[in-house]
Amino acid sequence: MRIFLPCPSQRPACFAESSHALPGFRRLLRGAAVGLLLALAALSARAQPDNIDGSLDTARQQIDQARKFIDKPPKDPAGLLPLRAQVLGAGAQADAAAAVLEPQLASLQARLNELGPVTPGQLEAPEVAVLRTQLNKARAELDAQLKRARVLAVESEQTADAISALRRSEFQARLGERTASIMSSVFWTELKTDLPADLQRAKTLFGALSAAAQASGARVWASVGLLVLVLVGLHWWAGQALLRLTTTRVPPGRLRRSLHAWTRVLLPTLTAGLAAEALYLGLVWAAPLPEALAPLVSRLAGVLCFGGYVIGLGHALLLPTRPSWRLLPLPDQVALSLRWLPPFLALMMVLTWAVVQLTGQINASLVTTVAADCIIALAMVVALGLALLRTDLLRRQALRDPPGAAKWPASPLWLTSLVSLAWLGTAGSGLALLLGYVALGSFVVHQIAWVAVVLGSAYLLAVLVDDGFTTLLAPAPGAFPDADGAAVPGAGDLSTASFLRIRAQAAVLLSGAGRLLVVVVTLLLLLAPFGEGPSELFERADKLHQGVSLGAFQIVPVALLQAVLVITVCLAGVRIVRRWLKEDFLPTTSLDAGMQVWTATLVAYAGNILALSLGLAAVGIGLERIAWVASALSVGIGFGLQAVVQNFVSGIIMLAEKPVKVGDWVSLGGIEGDIRRINVRATEIQMGDRSTVIVPNSEFITKTVRNVTHANPLGLVKILLPVPLAADADQVRRLMLDVFAAHAEVLKDPEPSVQLDSIDSAGMVFNATAFVNSPRTAYGVRSALLFEVLRHLREAGISLLRPAGLVLRELPDRALDPPAPPAPAPPGQAPA
Least confident of 165-174, 500-509, 546-555: 546-555
Task: Give the type of residue at 596.
Answer: Q
- Of the ranges 59-63, 403-407, 458-462, which is most confident? 458-462
| pLDDT computed for residue 476 by the predictor | 59
- The kind and range of the H/E element at 702 are helix 697-702
Q: Report which DSSP code applies to 546.
A: G
CB 336 within 8 A of CB 351: no
pLDDT tens for each residue of 597-613? 778 877 888 888 888 88
pLDDT surpassing 90 at residue 229: yes
Q: What is the pLDDT of residue 178?
A: 80
Which residues lie below 8 Å from residue 524, measured CB to CB, with a gap of 6+? 537
Instruction: Taking residues 577-589, report their average pLDDT.
Output: 87
Q: Which residue has the higher pLDDT, 54 or 585?
A: 585
Residue 157 predicted with pLDDT over 70: yes
Range in 385-399, 446-460, 479-493, 722-736 the model is least confident about: 479-493
Look at residue 769 and give its three-state secondary structure.
Answer: strand
Any idea which of 192-196, 209-213, 476-480 has the lowest mean pLDDT? 476-480
Question: Residue 389's pLDDT is what?
Answer: 92
**Of 96, 97, 95, which is closest to residue 156 (Cα–Cα)?**
95
Q: Is the pLDDT of residue 283 over 60?
A: yes
Share of the chain above pLDDT 70, in %: 77
Q: Is the pLDDT of residue 816 over 50?
A: no
| pLDDT for 342 | 93
Question: Whole-angstrom Cα distance, residue 458 to residue 447?
Answer: 16
Tell me the average pLDDT across 489-499.
Answer: 52
- Taking the C-alpha atoms of residue 749 and residue 507, their distance in angstroms, rounded to an integer, is 61
Q: How far apart are CA 81 and CA 475, in angstroms?
A: 51
Please give the residue that has the higher pLDDT: either 555 or 600: 600
Q: For residues 612 and 633, what is the distance between their CA atoms, to the nearest angstrom?
A: 16
At 479, is the pLDDT very low, low, confident or very high (cuts 50, 70, 90)? Answer: low
Contact 741, 752 (CB under 8 A): yes
Task: Return the closest-CA partner of residue 594 out of 717, 531, 677, 503.
Answer: 677
Residue 498 has pLDDT above 70, yes or no: no
Tell me the longest C-alpha to C-alpha distance in the chain.
150
Mean pLDDT of 658-677: 83
Could you tell me the pLDDT band of residue 495, with boundaries at 50, 70 and 90? low
Mean pLDDT of the 325-343 span = 88
- Exposure letters 434-449 (e unless 16+ CB within 10 A, then b): bebbbbbbbbbbbebb
Who wins on pLDDT, 65 or 267?
A: 267
- At residue 265, the pLDDT reads 93
pLDDT reading at 711 higher than 90: no
- Residue type at 411 in one-letter notation: S
Of 2-16, 251-265, 462-476, minimum mean pLDDT range: 2-16
Query: Which range scores top for mean pLDDT: 13-27, 38-52, 387-401, 792-806?
Result: 387-401
Residue 154 C-beta-side C-alpha neighbours within 13 Å:
5
pLDDT category at 429 given cuts 50, 70, 90 is: very high
CA distance 515 to 510: 9
Give strand pairing partners of 679.
none
Angle at 794 between CA 792 and CA 798, to 5 degrees: 100
Question: Which is nearest to 699 in space by CA: 663, 665, 666, 664?
Answer: 666
Element (H, E) at 753: strand 753-759
Can you give the three-state secondary structure of 230-261, one letter per residue? Answer: HHHHHHHHHHHHHHHHHHHHCCCCHHHHHHHH
pLDDT at residue 120 in the model: 77
Residues 6+ apart with CB under 8 A from 501: 480
Position with higher pLDDT, 808 vs 428: 428
- The pLDDT assigned to 799 comes to 85
Average pLDDT value for residue range 343-361: 87
Question: At residue 310, does pLDDT exceed 90?
Answer: yes
Round to the nearest angstrom and report the end-to-end CA distance of the chain: 122
Most confident of 116-125, 261-270, 697-706: 261-270
DSSP symbol at 672: E
Q: Hey, what's the torsion of the CAs at 305, 311, 315, 320, to 10 degrees?
A: -150
Integer Cα distance of 630 and 632 in angstroms: 5
Burial class (CB in 10 A: 0-12, 13-18, 19+), 545: exposed
Element (H, E) at 616: helix 593-619
Pairing of strands 671-678, 665-668: antiparallel
Query: What's the pLDDT score for residue 478?
Result: 53
Q: Which residue, 495, 501, 507, 511, is CA-closest to 479? A: 501
The residue type at 23: P
Average pLDDT estimate for 537-541: 53
When pLDDT is averaged across residues 279-302 and rounded to a whole number, the result is 81
pLDDT score for 817: 43
Pairing between β-strand 753-759 and β-strand 715-723 as defined by DSSP bridges? unpaired
Phi first, then psi: what are they for 333, rounded to 5°? Answer: -65, -30
Sheet with 753-759: list strands edge to edge: 715-723, 764-772, 753-759
Q: How confident is the model at residue 669 (pLDDT cuts 50, 70, 90)?
A: confident
β-sheet bridge partners, residue 768? 719, 754
Question: What pLDDT score does 460 carry?
Answer: 93
pLDDT digits (tens, 9 = 90+) for 743-770: 888 998 889 999 988 888 778 999 999 9
Comparing 713 with 102, the larger pLDDT belongs to 102
Band (pLDDT 50/70/90 cuts) for residue 431 is very high
Q: Confidence class of residue 639 from pLDDT cuts 50, 70 and 90?
A: low
- Predicted TM-score (pTM) of the model is 0.59
Q: Side chain identity at 549, as an amino acid letter? A: S
Lowest mean pLDDT among 20-29, 92-101, 821-830: 20-29
- Helix, strand or coil, per DSSP, at residue 105: helix
Contact 800, 759 (CB under 8 A): no
